[in-house]
Structure 1
Amino acid sequence: MRSNAIPEWAEQVAEGLGEGPHVVVSGISTSGHIHAGNLREVLVAEAVANALRARGEEVRFVFHADTIDPLRKVAPGIPESFGRYMGHSLSHIPDPEGCHPSYAEHFLAPFEEALEEMGMEVEVLRSHELYEGGVYTEVTREAIEHTEELRRIMQEVTGRRMPEGWSPYLPRAASGDLTGNRVVEHLPEESKVRFVDREGNEGVADYSKGEGKLGWRVELAARWKALGVTFEPFGKDHTSRGGSTDTADRMAREVFRYPVPGRYEYEWIGLKGRGDMSSSRGIVVLPKDLLRIMPPDALRRMVLGRDPSRRADLDLEGGFPRFMDEYRSETEDRPVPFSHLATVAQTVGDDVELAAEMLRRGGYGRAAEDREKLARELGYARNWAQRWAPEPVRFRLLSPEESREEMERLEEDQRLYLAALSERLEEGMGPEEIQDLLYETAHERGLKSKRAFAALYRVLLGKKSGPKAGPFIAALSVETVRERLRAGARSL
């Protein structure tokens, strides 16, 4: 799926939303790494927003970052000392590395940068700024005035009895804690509440200035009304029976008198062999990391899949070259196989001119014409090889000196084989011609092909195996290979 192609499921969802204007929202907590699994929600929302725009609707597309949420669990990799901030707003906790204004921004900034790199037309809103700017003042007042109705809905939907003194609003204590504070009086004319914190101290919180927040389930319904939301996707954890959407739906209809927005339930994605992505369990791959190995539209295709209502596992190792070949076959005529690009990238480093020469030798002259595009694609292939490629696929071309050292470790029959090859290889030979010569020379010298090829790879790559030798040597240039094989002849 390319960026200018709207998936059928998104068109069907958009059709069910009716006439606009529309506000499409996606929301994610900033309590930890915002990973590619989280990106699936944003991409679902983007696809629906694009489908609405395609039929001429006015659309506001919003990414709602839950920056005011209380910290409930310290993210993996964060110092244990941050446990002292439990219950504090993520926007009021310092950045553990000191590189951003807050803990929330530490995790949000890389994700926002990825959205920009993807060219996404989305408005990023931070919940603490919405509270502090008064956007949620009226819905917060409305929620507090209907505390008993909201309490009843919470109990009926969840099956849990809410504690005495339960309030939909969580005021912030002087300590910074949002939890364990009991509201004792509402001062609606002043947009304030009086409360008692867990230590028994009295305080006053101004909800028009963001000195607290609504509880999550109440906030969800209130947010729909405050922002005028008409569509929001949700993962299966939120849409389960008795979950947050069940609660928010009733609150929206019965308390806030706001129609429940359209929705789409998406399935989770995981990493092949590791399970579902989870920031709390440290099973994550960041969108920015994926943008280092593929272009934005390929990332959209991989994360969304053909049907985001079905689970998907990202295969970033052995299956990735095949995915890239399938993606590029839809946009290019006879693209260079990704595995070959990885071979070229690992052989020449960032030397685009040498890469172009290798591609020409390998029969991919057209791909060598656009140097800027070639440099970009080599970067993707090189980054993939360095981080994700299976070990047998990773290599680097040895220098002549390193080849000589490897040659000295070989048995004499292997060195004689390589010396014979150095005399028989000729410029202009094609991949299959070279491959036949490698086998033929081994047969003539009574050397098993496995030992022969192991010797060749050892001298060229320092490994016992590597890419198919014929095409590799043809693309690399015969003279480059001869330079390394001749070291063997001199050592005999």
Structure 2
Amino acid sequence: MFWADKLAASANGAQIVNDSKTPSGRVHVGSLRGVIIHDVIDRALKHAGKPVKFIYGVDDYDALDTTPKYLDQAKFKPYLGYPLCNVPSPDDSASDYAKYFMAEFLQVFDYLGVKPEVYWLRDLYRSGQLNEYIDIFLNNAHLIREAYLEVSGAKRAENWYPFQAICENCGKIATTVVTDYKDKQVFYTCEPNATNWTEGCGHSGWVSPFDGNGKLPWKVEWVAKWRLLGVSIEMAGKDHSQKGGSRDVANAICRKVFGEQPPYHSRYEFILVGGTKMSSSKGVGSSAREIAALLPPELLRFLMLRTPPKTAINFSPDYENITRLFRDYDTLFEKLVQGTAKKPEELVPLTYAQLEGEPKPYQTIDFSTLISLLQIPHIEIEAEIAKRVGTSMSDHDWQVTRSRIAVAQKWLADYADEEEKLVLYMDNVPEQINQLSGEQVSYLGQLAQVLGDLDNWDGDELQTALFSTSKQMELGAKQAFSAVYYAFLGKERGPKAGNMLSWLPKDFVVTRLNDVNKLAGSANAN
């Protein structure tokens, strides 16, 4: 059974599924893994007939702890340590920093068919909804100190209280330390050396902790959200789920202070780009918006779901990764249509990858072939695709196909390395043919005769002809095929050679092979 369906089957009663994000900068595609995981849990529960609500929190009372490199450093460095919702927006499209970056991310939610009920931490604090829990935690600070010490080994001072006031003098929240709680007020100091990335102003005083005057430390805040919102299921990334880590501390606080079991939890792994975890504050990796602009929504969901949550996803939009993604999706779809899946759960990622409803069959051409065809001069792409599919294409087929044409065009324009691009020499013979050996030149001459007599100008037929000619001439396949690539691409490697030649007019191919045979043969003779 698929992991989400197994979880749904074991759930009893109404469920509230929660996820959250701190909008510290452009939200990267890595954050989408948690979004899709929780969305699929929500869908699985609904499919199982269990009452469920999916909520998503924006942790905009967290402090701005770094200034992303793509922002004006002079403008934003003075706001280090401020709550994100109190930092100005990078432009006039939003009221503040958090709204600006979260708006972009929520647009990706819509694109992916993810529809949680979104809440903002500023609203929970400022409306007083968290006041009760702030009071409970401040009155039970000793239990929270115990939880930190027992679970993570972090020792808090006897006068440490779980609250961060917003400094009334400088506006920072990251630098304040609370050391007392009396008569519903906390005593805080804005410590100059509280962090190594911003300085406190030194101000101290008594202030009410309620109605948005500050926030709980996030491990404690986590528990407050569970209680206030009734959360029953919340997964967490590997960094928060390690033994003695953030989730374990929050679990211990929940048990110690309220005597209750925390929400169901299981860890999930990161999405990596080239082995590097993506960070929204450091600007590492590709943003969720950029990847959403590249991939169709079903493919982006499939990217998250074809790998079990506890296994890391290593993805970058290079040729190998993006063509494999489309190939895996199409292969699974073919198994669905033909009924050849060995196990029913094999098809579940495909089903949950759809925005809504059941997967709808389509016919189109392989994505790697599409990338190559788009680089062949003088081809009318849709006519060529229709010819290769060979049967009448429906409106849905063309909808899928045109979406993939757009992906391939964007990939070629924005992501493809020069080495990955197919640059055909149409008007002249590549200079690199001078690197061919005498045996390779002879092979091309013989190949010109063989292909000239070929009736069926099909990729598979051409591939067979290339192999049989090399075998007949006792030339290794690697040398034979590199000779073909040098003749048309000016380099040693390329796409499947038979397919590549099938995209070109027969007369052109035969003439080029004869020209190379003549020119390179003369060069070798000299």
**TM-score bracket for this pair, using the shorter chain length:** 0.7 to 0.9
Give the alignment of 1:363-378 within 5 angstroms: 363-366=389-392, 370-378=397-405
- Is contact 2:364-2:389 (8 Å) kept? no
Decide whether aligned partners of structure 1 residues 371 and 486 sit closer, same or farther in structure 2, where only a CA change above 3 A counts: farther
Shift of 1:40: 1.7
Task: Give the whole-Å Cα distance in 1 for the aligned partners of 2:389 and 2:466.
Answer: 20
**More deviation in 195-204 or 119-128?**
195-204
Which residue does the alignment assign to 1:472? 500
Q: 1:122 to 1:476 in 2, by over 3 A?
A: farther
Aligned AA (1:27) = S
- Alignment of 1:358 with 2:353, yes or no, is no
In the TM superposition, residue 194 of structure 1 has moved relative to its aligned partner by 5.4
Write the letter of the residue equivalent to 1:467.
P
Specify the alignment match of 2:300 in structure 1.
299
The answer to whether the 8 A contact 1:358-1:476 is kept is no
**Residue 4 (structure 1) aligns with:** none
2:161 to 150, 162, 167: 167
Q: 1:3 matched to which residue of 2?
A: none
User: How far does residue 389 in structure 1 lie from its aligned partner after superposition?
Assistant: 4.9
The 10-residue stretch of structure 1 (66-75 or 463-472) with the greater mean CA deviation from structure 2: 463-472
The one-letter code of the counterpart of 1:177 is K
Distance 2:94 2:486 in 1: 47
Retained in 1: the 8 A contact 2:83–2:172?
yes
Assess, with a 3 A threshold, how the Cα gap between structure 1 residues 212 and 261 changes in structure 2: closer, same or farther: same
CA apart distance, 1:427: 9.2
Query: For the Cα contact (< 8 Å) 1:185–1:195, is it kept in 2?
Result: no
Structure-2 change in CA distance of 1:348 and 1:14 (3 Å) = farther
Q: Which residues of structure 2 form unaligned runs of 5+? A: 192-200, 338-362
CA distances 1:405-462 after superposition (whole Å, capped 9, x unpaired): x568866998x969x78x95999733345557778999999x9998997787578656
Partner residue in 2 for 1:344: 373
Deviation digits for residues 318-368 of structure 1 (CA, Å, limit 9, x no counterpart): 24323321212232566522211221233379x9xx222222443554568
**Could you tell me which of 255, 266, 269 is aligned with 2:268?**
266
Q: Is the 8 A contact 1:344 1:355 kept in 2?
A: yes
Matches of 2:375 and 2:118 in 1, distance apart?
A: 38
Find the residue that maps to 2:122 and give its secondary structure.
Answer: helix
Which has the larger displacement, 108-117 or 201-210? 201-210
CA 1:363–1:329 in structure 2 vs 1: closer, same or farther (change >3 Å)? same
**Aligned partner of residue 262 in structure 1, secondary structure:** coil
In the alignment, is the contact (CA less than 8 A) between 1:358 and 1:477 conserved in 2? no
State how 1:56-75 maps to structure 2 within 5 Å.
Answer: 56-75=49-68
Distance 1:93 1:439, change over 3 A: same
- Give 1:394's aligned residue: 421
Distance 1:129 1:478, change over 3 A: farther
Pairing of 1:406-417 with structure 2 (within 5 A): none
Distance 1:135-1:449 versus aligned 2 partners, 3 A rule: same
The aligned length equals 474
Looking at structure 1, the residues matched to 155 and 484 of structure 2 have their Cα atoms a distance apart, in angstroms, of 73
Cα–Cα, structure 1 residues 487 and 71, in superposed 2: closer, same or farther, change >3 Å? same
Distance 1:172 1:218, change over 3 A: same
1:172 to partner: Cα distance: 0.5
The structural deviation recorded for 1:373 is: 2.3
In 2: Cα distance, 1:250 partner to 1:19 partner: 24
Q: Is the 8 A contact 1:305 1:312 kept in 2?
A: no
CA contact (8 A) 1:11 1:51 kept: yes
Quote the offset at 1:134 in angstroms: 2.9
- The alpha carbon displacement at 1:215 in A equals 0.7
What corresponds to 1:245 in structure 2?
247
Tell me: CA distance 1:275–1:285, structure 2 relative to 1, closer, same or farther (3 Å). Answer: same
Q: Given residue 310 of structure 1, which amino acid in structure 2 is its aligned partner?
A: T
Residues 376 and 503 of structure 2 are in contact (CA less than 8 Å); yes or no, is this contact kept in structure 1?
Answer: no
1:51-450 aligned at under 5 Å gives the runs 51-81=44-74, 82-96=76-90, 100-173=94-167, 174-183=169-178, 184-188=180-184, 193=186, 195-198=188-191, 199-202=201-204, 205=207, 207-271=209-273, 273-279=274-280, 282-314=283-315, 316-317=317-318, 318-332=320-334, 336-347=365-376, 354-366=380-392, 370-389=397-416, 391-396=418-423, 403-404=427-428, 424=452, 429-434=457-462
**Separation in structure 2 between the aligned mates of residue 88 and residue 215 of structure 1, nearest angstrom:** 14
Q: Given the two structures, how large is their TM-score scaled by the length of structure 1?
A: 0.79
Tell me how far apart the structure 2 counterparts of residues 367 and 397 of structure 1 sit (CA, whole Å): 29
2:278–2:284 CA contact under 8 A, matched in 1: yes
SS of alignment partner, residue 331 of structure 1: helix
Aligned CA distance change for structure 1 residues 221 and 228 (closer, same or farther; 3 Å): same
Contact 1:266 1:310 in 2 (8 A): yes
Contact 1:26 1:233 in 2 (8 A): yes
Is 2:16–2:233's contact at 8 Å kept on the other side of the alignment?
A: yes
The answer to whether the Cα contact below 8 Å between 2:430 and 2:490 also exists between their aligned partners in 1 is no
Distance 1:240 1:417, change over 3 A: same
Aligned pair in 2 of structure 1 residues 425, 167: CA closer, same or farther (>3 Å)?
farther
Q: Alpha carbons of 1:256 and 1:342: their partners in 2 closer, same or farther (altered >3 Å)?
A: same
Per-residue deviation at 1:210?
Answer: 1.9
Displacement of 1:263 in angstroms is 1.1
Q: CA deviation at 1:241?
A: 2.8
Compared with structure 1, are the counterparts of its residues 309 and 436 closer, same or farther at alpha carbon in structure 2 (3 Å cutoff)? Answer: closer
> 2-side partners of 1:476 and 1:485: how far apart?
13
Unaligned runs of 5+ in 1: 1-6
Per the alignment, do residues 328 and 135 of structure 1 end up closer, same or farther by CA in structure 2, a change over 3 Å counting? farther
Is the partner of 1:231 in helix, strand or coil?
A: coil
3-state DSSP class of the match of 2:18?
strand
The two structures, once aligned, show a CA RMSD in angstroms of 4.1
2:353 matched residue in structure 1:
none
